[in-house]
Structure 1
C-alpha cells in the first residue's frame, strides 16, 4: 500500500506503508515543474496520482510500478494562481480540481496521458476553492471555499453540471475541508472557525445540519476524513493536532479521547487506510505520520521493539493514552 504527499520542494513523495514494517520512502520522488506541490491524490485503483502545484499546473503520474513512476498528462494552466485541491470520482474516470481562481473544473482522465477539460468551469464561489470531494455514487460533488461556504453540485451529466440547493453557510470562516461518509448520506465540513460540522445530504438539494458543531480544535480545521465504516471521523488542524470523532450517530457525534499530538505545525491532511486501522497525517512541519488505531497491533509492535513486557513507567512513555496492562 502506498501513501503520497506533495511538498514545498516541488516533489510528490511516495511511501510504502505496508503492514509488515515502518513506512519506507520509495527512492524516486515525482518531480514536476519546480513549483511547490499543494495537493495530491490517488486514483481509486491506486495506479495514478494527480497533483496540483502553486504555478497552476495539474499533473498526472503513472505509479502502476511504484519503483519506476513516470509522468503522464500535464495541464500547465489548470487554475491560474494555483491548484489547491484534487479529487478523483469513484470510477476513476473524472478528476475534480479547485483553485485560487475561485473555479472548480472537471477533467476526463480515462487516459492519464491525455487529460481533457469536461464542460465549463463551475462558478458560484467568490473566493479560493480549497477542497473538493465526490459522493460515493459519483453523482454529487462537494466544494469548500474561503468564501465561508460549501456547495453541492449535480455532476451526473459532466457536460451540464448544476448547483444543488443553496450554499451551506453554518461556518463563520473559511471552509477548508469537505468529505462524504462512505454511505453518502452525511457530509463533513471543517472550517477556519475551529469547528467540524455534519450535514444530512440524503437529498443533496435539501441539505440540513446534523447535530451541533464539533469543537475541540484550538485552531482552524484543515482536513477531514471518514473511516471506511463511516463510524469515525478524523480531523486535522492548525493547532498541530489530529482529533477523532465518534460519528456512528451523526446527530450525537462526540470526540474520542484526547487529541493525537506529535506534529509541530499545522496538520494539513488526514486519511484512513482502506482497512480503517491506520490513519495517516501530514503537516507543515515537513513530516507525515502514521497512527495505529488497532490497539492489539500497536502493542505487538511495541513488544517487538522492546523485547519484553513493559513496566508501568515505560508503558506511560510509549502508550500514554491507554490503561496499563501486561502485554508481551
Structure 2
C-alpha cells in the first residue's frame, strides 16, 4: 500500500472517541478545515533518545499575569477561575464534547482550548459570548495546544497523525499541516520560537520530532 493509500484508509476508518454522542457529526457539518497554505516549520530530525512515557493532557493553564486559571475537563464548558480566591469568574460555552487542553497567548487576552469534538476553539477572555475562531482537525480529539513565545503561531495537535500550526497574525485562517503516522504525546515550541517539538507516543517507536523554523 502506498503512503497516500494508507493515509486515505486511515481518514476513512479512524473513529474518534466521543463522550457526547454525535458531537463530531455536528462539528463536521458546521465547520470547514482552514487553508493549509502555511509553511512555517520544516523537519529537522527525529530522535529515539527521548521517548515520551505517557500521552499528555493539560486540564489547567495559568494566564501570563498569573491572575486567571483556565480549567477544562470532563464537561462541555470551560472555566476561568480567579487564582487568588478560587472563584469562577466566567465560563466558555461552545464545545460539543469534553476537553483535554488549554493554552494562553502571551498577551493574556487570548485562550485556546482543545476538545474531543475535533476542534480547537480560540477565545478572547474580554468577550466570551462566542469563540474568535473554531479550528477543525482531521480525524481526532485535540489533546495538546500551545502558543509560540512571540504569539505568532498556535500549535494544535490531534491525538494522532496531525499537528497544525496556525498563523495568529492572519486570524487563524492559514495553517501548516504536519502529517505523519503516530499517536501524539504533546507539542511544545522552544523559548526562542526557532524549534517545534512533537512527542511521539509508541511502546516500540516512541521518539521526539524536531522541526525548525523555515
Length-normalised TM-score, structure 2: 0.67
- Asked whether the 8 Å contact 2:200–2:209 carries over to 1, the reply is no
Count of residue pairs brought into register by the alignment: 157
Deviations 1:39-77 (A, max 9, x none): 6xxxxxxxxxxxxxxxxxxxxxxxxxxxxxxxxxxxxxx
- Using CA pairs under 8 Å that are at least 6 residues apart, name the structure with larger relative contact order, 1 or 2: 2
Tell me the distance in 2 between the aligned counterparts of 1:189 and 1:98. 16
**Partner in structure 2 of residue 91 of structure 1:** 65
Deviations 1:236-260 (A, max 9, x none): 23325242332413xxxxxxxxxxx
Of 181, 189, 211, which residue of structure 2 is paired with 1:226? 189
- Asked whether the 8 Å contact 1:165–1:207 carries over to 2, the reply is no
Structure with greater Cα Rg: 1
Supply the RMSD in Å over aligned alpha carbons. Answer: 2.0
**Equivalences for residues 15-26 of structure 1 within 5 A:** none
Tell me the distance in 2 between the aligned counterparts of 1:133 and 1:104. 12
Tell me the distance in 2 between the aligned counterparts of 1:162 and 1:136. 21
Q: CA deviation at 1:194?
A: 1.4
User: Unmatched 5+ residue regions in structure 2?
Assistant: 1-55
SS at match of 2:101: strand
User: Unmatched 5+ residue regions in structure 1?
Assistant: 1-37, 40-83, 250-328
Matched, 1:215 2:179: yes
SS at match of 1:194: strand
Q: CA deviation at 1:104?
A: 0.8
**Partner in structure 2 of residue 173 of structure 1:** 140
Cα 1:235/1:100, change in 2 over 3 Å? same
**Equivalences for residues 141-220 of structure 1 within 5 A:** 141-155=111-125, 157=126, 160-203=127-170, 206-211=171-176, 213-216=177-180, 218-220=181-183
Matched, 1:130 2:100: yes
Matched, 1:105 2:85: no
Task: Please identify runs of 4+ aligned residues in structure 1 that moved more than 6 A.
Answer: none
**Partner in structure 2 of residue 259 of structure 1:** none
Tell me the distance in 1 between the aligned counterparts of 2:140 and 2:207. 20
Cα 1:237/1:163, change in 2 over 3 Å? farther
Q: CA deviation at 1:89?
A: 0.4
